[in-house]
């Protein structure tokens, strides 16, 4: 087990230890919000035929020379074609075919005139405007052609993507499998937030609620949280049960070096291999990463903000490695600080902040046990080891949440 490692090394060790979850086929309706695992190519031309973009008349531009309201051209109407219908004849000289929006254009025509520029005749029509070849004419395949990549691999399907799949007649698509995640919070001092009144000496457990909600915000739908006490054997047995139903187990609490930091006992009882313990950052230094039969276990501090921060810094990169999905990756920006932070940072430190248009304001108290000032936080301010106190107007790096 490695100890006191840098954040980047911790991320690399986690990424090297897991295999991507793979691919599954889902229906078009279930694809919303999912990440496509392969390029989706068009199985047909869209539109699949030359079609009319408006209600009017399919015409030959050569027949319309000089047409105007003062000098209309008279043509014989030989057919009417509605959307969904198929023309029964080729358009000949001196002829017009009434046509509706979306209908298949007949062979022989090269333009369409809207009915407002005619007398809207049913057997004989007066044409009041000349057209050039290809005016008001939608070509087969003008949206996309057979074999064209419609949606590249890595696309997160939105409503438009689902519509494109429908337009191509695709009933299912391959997507990256979503992770199943379980969150286990430990501590004899924590009780359910639904227990009232609060017993003396106890606190309400917030970590399992915070992290399961955050996972859902990030698109992980199959996630559950659980509270448990500090008995190592019970914790090990519960972990074994949860690992049997998930791809990633996240725990909070019990990872430091006190009498009740029971993961140093529970993980050996489980038979897990500890990969690293303690990362050079604040808050959340005692973060631990283990493997049980190849399955990842990420153990975070029990302090609420420490758990929240190290979730962003460690769990999200681990989820990115498991899924191959860019949504889990953190993006960085530089920003000018509004406000200040009075402490020097001998080690690497992350502060909560609010980033907007190149500026970041520090959002209140930064103690690792304080949760309320996380509300409104949309970034972490990354202060390198050896940083002096943060001053107003200083330029810093922020990680967007």
Model confidence over 215-255: pLDDT tens digits? 999 999 999 999 999 999 999 999 999 999 999 999 999 99
CA distance 326 to 324: 7
Distance from CA of residue 113 to its chain's centroid? Answer: 44
- Please determine, for residue 364, whether its predicted confidence score (pLDDT) is greater than 80: no
Could you tell me whether strands 379-383 and 349-356 are parallel, antiparallel, or unpaired per DSSP bridges? antiparallel
Handedness of CA 155, 161, 165, 168 (dihedral sign): negative
**Cβ-contact 126, 119 below 8 angstroms:** yes
Residues with Cβ within 8 Å of residue 194, at least 6 apart in sequence = none
Mean pLDDT in the chain?
A: 95
CA distance 78 to 96: 6
- Please determine, for residue 379, whether its predicted confidence score (pLDDT) is greater than 80: yes
What are the structure tokens assigned to 25, written together? 């086929």
- Please determine, for residue 347, whether its predicted confidence score (pLDDT) is greater than 90: yes
Q: What distance, in Å, lies between the first and last C-alpha atoms of the chain?
A: 30
Specify the higher pLDDT residue, 310 or 259.
310
Residue at token pair 């087990």: 1
pLDDT for the residue 369: 74
CA distance 224 to 240: 15
- Please determine, for residue 289, whether its predicted confidence score (pLDDT) is greater than 80: yes
- Please determine, for residue 135, whether its predicted confidence score (pLDDT) is greater than 80: yes
CA distance 46 to 158: 20
What are the structure tokens assigned to 379, written together? 């970034």
What are the structure tokens assigned to 336, written together? 């000018």
**Cβ-contact 254, 230 below 8 angstroms:** yes
pLDDT for the residue 372: 86
CA distance 350 to 361: 13
Share of the chain above pLDDT 70, in %: 99
Least confident of 142-146, 253-257, 294-298, 393-397: 253-257
Q: Residue 260: which pLDDT band, with cuts at 50, 70 and 90?
A: low
**Cβ-contact 175, 36 below 8 angstroms:** yes
Nearest alpha carbon to residue 295 among 9, 22, 3, 19: 19
Average pLDDT over residues 373-385: 93
Q: Residue 257: which pLDDT band, with cuts at 50, 70 and 90?
A: confident
Name the CA dihedral angle for 61, 67, 68, 72, rounded to a multiple of 10 degrees.
Answer: -120
Share of the chain above pLDDT 90, in %: 94
What are the structure tokens assigned to 301, written together? 């501090």
CA distance 380 to 400: 7
Q: For residue 261, what is the DSSP state?
A: -
């Amino acid at each position: 087990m490695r100890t006191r490692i840098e954040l980047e090394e911790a991320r690399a060790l986690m990424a090297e230890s897991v295999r991507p979850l793979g691919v599954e086929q889902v229906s078009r309706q279930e694809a919303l919000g999912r990440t496509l695992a392969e390029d989706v190519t068009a199985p047909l031309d869209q539109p699949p035929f030359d079609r009319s973009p408006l209600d009017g008349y399919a015409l030959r531009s050569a027949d319309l020379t000089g047409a105007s309201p003062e000098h209309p051209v008279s043509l014989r109407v030989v057919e009417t074609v509605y959307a969904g219908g198929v023309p029964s004849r080729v358009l000949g000289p001196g002829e017009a075919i009434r046509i509706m929006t979306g209908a298949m254009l007949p062979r022989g025509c090269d333009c369409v005139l809207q009915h407002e520029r005619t007398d809207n005749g049913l057997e004989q029509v007066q044409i009041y405007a000349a057209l050039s070849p290809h005016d008001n004419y939608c070509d087969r395949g003008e949206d996309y052609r057979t074999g064209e990549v419609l949606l590249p691999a890595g696309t997160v399907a939105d409503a438009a993507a689902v519509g494109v799949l429908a337009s191509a007649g695709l009933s299912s698509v391959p997507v990256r499998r979503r992770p199943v995640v379980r969150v286990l919070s430990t501590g004899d001092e924590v009780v359910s937030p639904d227990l009232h009144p609060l017993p003396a000496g106890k606190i309400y457990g917030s970590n399992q609620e915070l992290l399961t909600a955050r996972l859902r915000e990030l698109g992980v739908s199959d996630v559950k949280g659980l509270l448990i006490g500090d008995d190592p054997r019970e914790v090990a047995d519960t972990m074994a049960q949860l690992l049997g139903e998930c791809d990633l187990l996240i725990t909070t609490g019990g990872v430091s070096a006190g009498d009740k930091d029971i993961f140093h006992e529970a993980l050996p009882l489980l038979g897990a291999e500890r990969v690293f313990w303690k990362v050079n950052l604040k808050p959340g230094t005692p973060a631990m990463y283990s493997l049980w039969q190849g399955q990842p276990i990420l153990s975070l501090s029990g302090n609420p903000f420490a758990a929240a921060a190290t979730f962003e810094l460690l769990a999200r990169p681990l989820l990115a490695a498991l899924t191959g999905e860019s949504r889990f990756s953190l993006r960085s920006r530089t920003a000018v600080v509004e406000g200040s932070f009075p402490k020097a940072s001998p080690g690497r430190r992350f502060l909560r902040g609010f980033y907007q248009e190149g500026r970041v304001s520090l959002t209140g108290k930064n103690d690792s046990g304080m949760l309320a000032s996380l509300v409104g936080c949309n970034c972490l301010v990354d202060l390198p080891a050896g940083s002096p106190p943060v001053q107003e107007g200083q330029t810093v790096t922020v990680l967007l949440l």
